[in-house]
Amino acid sequence: MTIASWFMLFGALMLSMGFLRVVINRLPITSSMFYLAVGIMVGPTGLALFHFNPLEESEFLEILTECAVLISLFAAGVKMPVPVSFKRWRSPLQLAFFSMFITVALVAAFAYFVLHLPLGAAILLGAIIAPTDPVLATDVQVRHHGDEDQLRFALTCEAGLNDGSAFPFVMLGLGLLGLHELGDYGAQWFLIDVIWATLAGLAIGVLFGCVLGYLVWYVRSYRQKMSVLHDFLGLGLIAAVYGVSLMVDAWGFLAVFAAAVALRQTETSLVQNRTKQKVTTQLPDANITHEKKASFQHLSEGTLIFNEHLERISELLLIILLGGTLFIDSWSWRAVGFAAFVFVIARPLSVYIGLWRSGMPMKIRGMSAWFGVRGIGSLYYLMYAIQHGLPENLALELIHVVFITITLSIFVHGLSVKPLVRHHDETS
């Protein structure tokens, strides 16, 4: 396809989504399914107008998926309800860490004993496929700041956290393949990749998010003639947090999500404290307080709107490219069987075991067990491994099973998400 053809294709898709959004919302399909169908139609399976080779273009795809995940993680973080408390976050934390670990173990066992992959490649595949996706799962995520739905909160928080919590297992798999230093008996891996990178990522994110929240509050409260550009602040926070994290070998995905949550927490706390001060001192400027509260809270809302637009554009591009990688013979029983194992066995088992004694209602557990959407995050981890020297034969094998798993996840979860979530909203 020529540059002109690509512009025409993306223009037609954007125009179609602009006009057909209401129609698609009424049908049991998602926008990702629509993009993927178009990608398959114009790719090798259909008209063969183009073919995207992920092995040859792994560097480009790594950067593209990295940016998409970062934007989506920030958007998910600023939607998190406040205040942050262990009681409220207990179930999502169990999903993001315990359930994710169990998924890695189950998938690695299947890959090792059934697919006959080397142990390092099996663990790497488990780490690649374990995280749920923050980009493609928007239909089951928190819809806005005040959304108190337990299912949406758990799935959004899980997707925000496990993109960082899976990284140590990616490094473990690479280490067992001789592509990363693990140290004696795995000591270096445990101390650096697990303990340091996780704690440092959380600390960096919280620090930057709180500082930005206080800085914006100061500018708006005491320098009223100054204004801030919400879009620049949001993207600047993402870039700064991620850059610092990379410099100190911390998990940047975890840091960006933590920064977004901290920003939301800080700005809300400041507004609430200011409102309490106005009430206790009985000042007669309630209208001013209301205006300042609305104006200040618009920071996170403004960045959210812009980031969600970027998220939709990146989703469109990446899903088109995904469809352009698939041939008819890509649909092997080996890949389809692996995907079925992930959806029907690994995900439900990991959720039910990980949420043991969590107090979450069984109905919510069942919905969470099904909606483990795999997507852009898995693509990033796979491209990351390829860029770190994954042998070509193993890279091709993992590309095969991972791309088919993501494709089936988009269709299978996409077909079920609207009726199940609608039923959940009606009965909750």
Q: pLDDT at position 242, please?
A: 96
Q: What is the pLDDT of residue 305?
A: 74
Torsion of CA 113, 119, 124, 126, to 10 degrees: 30
The whole-number pLDDT of residue 292 equals: 46
Burial of 400 (0-12, 13-18, 19+ CB in 10 A): middle
Q: What is the pLDDT of residue 287?
A: 46
CB-count exposure of residue 89 (10 Å: 0-12, 13-18, 19+)? middle
Enumerate the H helices of 282-391 as residue ranges: 286-323, 333-341, 347-354, 362-370, 376-387
Length of the chain: 428
Q: What is the pLDDT of residue 243?
A: 96
Q: What pLDDT is recorded for position 275?
A: 64
pLDDT of residue 289: 45
pLDDT at 294: 45
User: In the structure encoding, which two tokens stand for residue 116, read together?
Assistant: 């006959």
- What are the backbone dihedrals phi and psi of residue 385, each rounded to the nearest 5 degrees, phi first? -65, -40
pLDDT of residue 59: 94
In DSSP notation, 232-264 reads HHHHHHHHHHHHHHHHTT--HHHHHHHHHHHHH
Per-residue pLDDT of the chain (428 residues; tens, 9 = 90+): 778 888 888 888 888 877 777 777 777 788 888 889 999 999 999 888 889 999 999 999 999 999 999 998 998 888 887 677 778 888 888 988 999 999 999 999 999 999 999 999 999 999 999 988 876 666 666 665 666 678 888 888 888 888 888 999 999 999 999 999 999 989 999 999 999 999 999 999 999 999 998 888 887 776 555 566 777 888 999 999 999 999 999 999 999 999 999 998 888 888 777 666 655 555 444 444 444 444 444 566 667 777 778 888 888 889 999 999 999 988 999 999 999 999 999 999 999 998 887 778 888 888 888 888 888 999 999 999 999 999 999 999 999 999 999 999 999 888 887 777 777 766 76
Q: Are 397 and 334 in contact (CB under 8 A)?
A: no
Q: Provide the pLDDT for residue 295.
A: 46
What global pTM score does this model have? 0.89
pLDDT given for residue 207 in this prediction: 96
Indicate if the alpha-carbon torsion angle 129, 133, 135, 138 is positive or negative.
positive
Which pLDDT value is given to residue 224?
58
Question: How far apart, in Å, are the Cα atoms of 262 and each of 84, 129, 216, 419?
Answer: 9, 28, 13, 34
Task: Assess contact for 92 and 153: CB atoms under 8 A.
Answer: yes
Cβ pair 141, 79 in contact under 8 A: yes
pLDDT of residue 388: 94
The pLDDT assigned to 223 comes to 59
